[in-house]
Amino acid sequence: MNYGFVKIAAGVPEVSVAEPRANVQSIENLVIQAEGRGVEIICLPELAMTGYTCGDLFAQQLLIDEAEAALIHLLNFSRSLDIIVIVGMPVVFRGMLLNCAAVVQKGKILGLVPKTYLPNYHEFQEQRWFAGAQALPRGAQVWLGGQQVTLDACQLFRTPTCCFGVEICEDLWSPVPPSCQLALHGAELIFNLSADNDLVGKESYLRQLIVDQSARLHCGYVYAACGFGESTQDLVFSGKAYVAENGILLRRSEPHSLRGQLVESEIDVERLRMERRTNTTFVTASAHTSEAMPVVESALITTHDFELSRTINPYPFVPQGSDLDVRCQEIFSIQAEGLAKRLSHTHAKSAVVGISGGLDSTLALLVTVRAFELLKLDRRGIIGITMPGFGTTDRTYTNALTLMRQLGVSVREIPIGRAVQQHFEDIDHDISVHDVTYENSQARERTQILMDVANAENALVIGTGDLSELALGWCTYNGDHMSMYGVNAGVPKTLVRHLVSWVAAQGDAAVRATLLDIVATPISPELLPANDHGEIEQKTEDLVGPYELHDFFIYYAIRWGFRPAKIYYLAQAAFGNTYTIDTLKHWLRTFYRRFFSQQFKRSCMPDGPKVGSVSLSPRGDWRMPSDACAAAWLAECDSL
């Protein structure tokens, strides 16, 4: 099972200028390597059969005949192979010479795609030898390699796993590349056969162009350009090859290699289809496309066992390297500006934040401080309230008080023990029974305090709950579930920790030490008494599962709509050395069970800013019935 992935490759063969018989051997060497690795489609460079730099030799009939003979050799070679080969070669039609891509499989030419836009500037003078696709009648037929073949720039190729189209080099650089129409007509993969020379600064521009086109079209984009062996009379070709998917560069070739290269990866076509279905702009543009394109069907039968070679990031919400600092800056700014607008709109000069000494309340406090700075309000208008209860430990209690004092906000301490005990007496609950009533009564008492203080101070209660807790329903209904503005509502737990660490790096040494100790504290609601050593007894991740797993499940289930089996497969690739398969199955089932059963909490969640590609706001991104049935999802989890 391929789980929606299509294995593709960009091949850069060594080339001998004007020697097709030698070139087809290099091409076949790459093809057989790709076939052995389970590649379904391989793209080779522009005019790879002859070499791109033949110049006026393209006018020699002998070269044209040799190219066709090499194609026949490739056709015979491919008869026993499953792989689809896309290779560049010159083709004659009605006295015109065309720069074409030949799509070949199992001894057949599935189609010929001529280049549409021919460069005729600086070092590239293709119009000297070739005609563009505009000169052809629609649906033109040509006799090549003993076969009658369609010659058309506007045609699609469909296999049982994907639909793809082809464009050639300069086509991508045009104002409206052919790939735009190909994608709107259904092409999920675009293959570009190119001959791209090296110039200072050109590579980064080209790479960005490819990545941006894959993002704009929600497609996979595979690019293969000429490499070593092309004439260096005036230019050098370093063999650029790229594989991009929906705005992400998956793989690239080694620059300036003197050997043939095979750059392979897997394109997640299921992900692309999901993105297109939910992107109304793409859907609208697709609905206004011109007449239908011809589609060539291919019986692609892959007998190889599928193996995923691309890396699956176990932390999809957390960028790597320097990008993490940029992401943290963006998210923190969005949170603070969202709160600043709400404070300004309500004319509130004060805010109330419940401070537990944990990660979420710490981030909420830091965001509130920043919002007050933006509005030039006195920090003393921030009322931080710590409310120790039956499970509060010395560590979190001390960190809560210390952080509030260091940040210069107003500090209040309101123990909840006596009030909760009175409440237990009122409802006839045994205080020695540590059940859900015991826990939730504390959470609701704290929320009542925050709300009532906010009323007394003409302030807003700032919510602390994060995206991961909302997804799992890990909050007390009408307790910490409720606030007047939830600044963390769009931030997953795995990113909360990094945000607090990022703020710590910006502050003075004293604040930094406090924040880093909060980051190192186990995550807990602290609603059950501490152990005999005064340490946290109730650890959230022991109860609901590791947040790194749940954030992974959230990303692929909500952002991409993947089914449990595929998420489980990706989780094995991402966490295979960290968790056993039984552990992954257990927590995946827990995720779906809780996600469906706890929707009622999300249906009435407070306002809060969206910060990333996943949001659970019932007013924006997520509209789900509170009583939807989880049976199909849980059944698939059980079948894994």
Distance CA 628, CA 78 (A): 51
Q: Which of 54, 100, 154, 169 is catalytic?
A: 169
498, 325, 203, 209: CA torsion to nearest 10 = 80
Place of tokens 């030698």: 22
108, 177, 201, 52: CA torsion to nearest 10 = 30
Strand 163-168 and strand 189-194: the pairing is parallel
Token pair belonging to 423:
């409440």
* Catalytic site includes residue 475: no
* Catalytic site includes residue 169: yes
Instruction: Please give the biggest Cα pair distance in the chain.
Output: 101
Helix (H, G, I), strand (E, B) or coil at 98: strand
Helix (H, G, I), strand (E, B) or coil at 16: coil
Contacts of 443 (CB under 8 A, 6+ apart): 475, 476, 479, 480, 525, 527
**CB-based contact 9:32 (threshold 8 Å):** no
Q: Tell me how many degrees the CA angle 588-594-595 measures, rounded to the nearest 5.
A: 85
**CB-based contact 21:70 (threshold 8 Å):** yes
Output b/e per residue, 415-425; b: 16+ Cβ within 10 A. ebeebbeebbe
Helix (H, G, I), strand (E, B) or coil at 246: coil
Strands (E), 117-196: 120-121, 124-125, 140-144, 147-151, 156-158, 163-168, 189-194
**CB-based contact 105:298 (threshold 8 Å):** yes
Q: Which of 46, 167, 245, 636 is catalytic?
A: 46
Helix axes 564-575, 631-639, angle to 10 degrees: 50
Q: Which of 7, 115, 566, 601 is catalytic?
A: 115
Distance CA 22, CA 260 (A): 13
Contacts of 310 (CB under 8 A, 6+ apart): 250, 251, 265, 266
Helix (H, G, I), strand (E, B) or coil at 571: helix
Phi-psi region of 29 (alpha: psi -120 to 50; beta: other; left: phi over 0): alpha
Sheet order of strands, 96-105 included:
140-144, 147-151, 108-114, 96-105, 84-93, 41-43, 5-12, 261-268
Task: Give Cα separations from 90 to 14, 26, 96 (angstroms).
Answer: 18, 18, 10
Catalytic residues: 46, 115, 169
